Amino acid sequence: MIDFKMPEEVKEILSSLDRFIEVEIAPLEKKFAKELENERYLYDERGYYTQEIQDALKQVRKKSAEAGFFTMFGMPELGGMGDQFGPVAVALIHEALMKKYGHNLFIDEIFPPGLFTGGLTPVLLGLTPELREEILPKVRDGESLLCFGLSEPDAGSDVWAMKTRAVRDGDEWVINGAKQWITNSPYADYAIIFAVTDPELVAQRKGGISAFLVPFDGETCTNSSVIPYLGSIGSRIGIISLDNARVSDKYVIGEINNGFGAALHGVDIGRVVMAANCVGAAQWALDIALDYVKQRKTFGVTIENHQMIQAHLAECAMDIYAARNMVLHCAWKMENQKALPLKEISMIKAFTTEMAFRVLDRCMQVMGGIGLTNEAKLEKVWRWARSMRVPDGTAEIQRRTIARRLLKGDKDFD
């Protein structure tokens, strides 16, 4: 029997997280209230977080690491506690935090930004013992950030169109190319770079892509710019330029020509996290809208009495109920079945990201003019929800995966 009741240990973790937020994050929110309310103070003229904000985010990461949260979902082989928390617990924790606090700059930093890319990503299992000893302690304690350099200007969903090349030169690899849409790259210390090492294998789509850990040195491996999006004036997403970047063999991750397999390692739990965050954000927005409709009056009554408002609220509730059960059922299958439920993982990624955007949009509509303002705080999360439909595989790519699984005979929904 499937039981989605929140386990007591998860409730205890959430209570601990609430205390952590009260002690460590609430003071930062008060100190940086101006920056959080107005992006002109949050970013510098280049679109980077100001140095004060960067320092505050690192402070959150380090405090989170001390409290045991930052590595909570990392693989035990890398020094994390992921063996204690399965996908269902991961989903419940992220959903609950987003439901209570919404999309919050400092709270989001409690866990590694980009769960399977910024911290103890499973990709790091391919590091040499020497490099593990050198790198992992700094990643575990929140001192060093990683970024995941897979996408390129002309290679997003179609990874085989990759143009970045790594060529052996003596005892080193020389890497040239560019990576785009890379989360954390403006602030990272190391980039996990995927590059073509055997063009013939790539042409056959049979391999030929390798993974390298490349330090940002300010010369040969740099974050050349920040990419603002959806009306923001800065972001944590950037473009990496590689100009004859040299790394030795110890910086190779896993096997040469088999890096694409490493790229997919961990993406599935990352999609569960994204889906759970979307479910939580939708519940957060609906709670705000429900409070508002009981106060706002038109035509002599509060707008909760108007049927069109009620219809919007009902649509939100149906969307959330469907999405939440999809996510938890998928997470349960990941925990209890040997084979990875690829169809269902693609389903929750596509459905929840679109659902969150629909719910945020309806809640803004219900609240009228104030829903469009920063005062209601919905529009920032609405922009975030819109962005979730693109990374980690677009909704269209997820539909392609679902259809292919169906056509291969994966037709069960139990």
Looking at the fold, whether 229 and 253 belong to one and the same domain comes out as yes
Whether 409 shows a pLDDT value over 70: the answer reads: yes
Q: Is residue 222 part of a domain?
A: yes
Q: What is the pLDDT of residue 394?
A: 92
Q: Which residues neighbour 204 within 8 Å (Cβ) at sequence distance 6 or greater? A: none
Q: What is the pLDDT of residue 330?
A: 96
Whether 237 shows a pLDDT value over 90: the answer reads: yes
At 307, give phi and psi (nearest 5°): -60, -35
Looking at the fold, whether 361 and 300 belong to one and the same domain comes out as yes
Q: Is-contact 239 180, C-beta < 8 A?
A: yes
Looking at the fold, whether 82 and 161 belong to one and the same domain comes out as no
| Antiparallel, parallel or unpaired: β 237-248 and 221-226 | antiparallel
Q: What is the pLDDT of residue 298?
A: 94
- Using pLDDT thresholds of 50, 70 and 90, give the confidence band for residue 116: low
User: What are the pLDDT digits (tens) for 276-321?
Assistant: 999 999 999 999 999 999 999 999 999 999 999 999 999 999 999 9
Q: Is residue 132 part of a domain?
A: no
Q: Which residues neighbour 6 within 8 Å (Cβ) at sequence distance 6 or greater? A: 92, 96
Q: Is residue 127 part of a domain?
A: no
Which structural domain range is residue 363 located in? Answer: 266-407
Examine the fold and report which residue of 212, 237, 257 is the final residue of a domain before the chain moves on: 257
User: What are the pLDDT digits (tens) for 61-105?
Assistant: 999 999 999 999 888 888 888 778 889 999 999 999 999 999 999
Q: Is residue 136 part of a domain?
A: no
The CATH number for 155's domain is 2.40.110.10
Count the domains in the chain.
3
Average pLDDT over residues 127-131: 91
Residue with tokens 């904000």: 53
User: What are the pLDDT digits (tens) for 199-215?
Assistant: 999 999 999 999 999 99
Per the prediction, the chain carries an average pLDDT of 93
Q: Which residues neighbour 270 within 8 Å (Cβ) at sequence distance 6 or greater? A: 114, 115, 116, 117, 392
Looking at the fold, whether 252 and 273 belong to one and the same domain comes out as no
Joined together, the tokens standing for residue 408 give: 């291969």
Q: Is-contact 199 128, C-beta < 8 A?
A: no
Q: What is the pLDDT of residue 264?
A: 67
User: What are the pLDDT digits (tens) for 334-370?
Assistant: 999 988 999 999 999 999 999 999 999 999 999 999 9
Examine the fold and report which residue of 257, 276, 307 is the final residue of a domain before the chain moves on: 257
Looking at the fold, whether 89 and 178 belong to one and the same domain comes out as no
User: What are the pLDDT digits (tens) for 185-196?
Assistant: 999 999 999 999
**Residue 133 — left, alpha, or beta (φ > 0 → left; ψ -120 to 50 → alpha)?**
alpha
At 178, give phi and psi (nearest 5°): -140, 145
Q: Which residues neighbour 400 within 8 Å (Cβ) at sequence distance 6 or greater? A: none
Instruction: Enter the DSSP assignment of 160.
Output: G
Whether 410 shows a pLDDT value over 90: the answer reads: yes
Examine the fold and report which residue of 74, 97, 115 is the final residue of a domain before the chain moves on: 115
Looking at the fold, whether 285 and 234 belong to one and the same domain comes out as no
The CATH number for 329's domain is 1.20.140.10
Q: What is the pLDDT of residue 82?
A: 76
Looking at the fold, whether 35 and 150 belong to one and the same domain comes out as no
- Using pLDDT thresholds of 50, 70 and 90, give the confidence band for residue 114: low
Q: Is residue 122 part of a domain?
A: no
Q: What is the pLDDT of residue 59?
A: 97
Q: Is residue 247 part of a domain?
A: yes
At 229, give phi and psi (nearest 5°): -150, 155
Looking at the fold, whether 207 and 96 belong to one and the same domain comes out as no
Q: Is residue 46 part of a domain?
A: yes
Distance of CA 21 to the CA centre of its chain: 20
Average pLDDT over residues 220-245: 96
Distance of CA 320 to the CA centre of its chain: 20
Looking at the fold, whether 274 and 399 belong to one and the same domain comes out as yes
Looking at the fold, whether 383 and 250 belong to one and the same domain comes out as no
Average pLDDT over residues 150-167: 91
Looking at the fold, whether 18 and 104 belong to one and the same domain comes out as yes
Looking at the fold, whether 70 and 154 belong to one and the same domain comes out as no
Q: Is residue 65 part of a domain?
A: yes
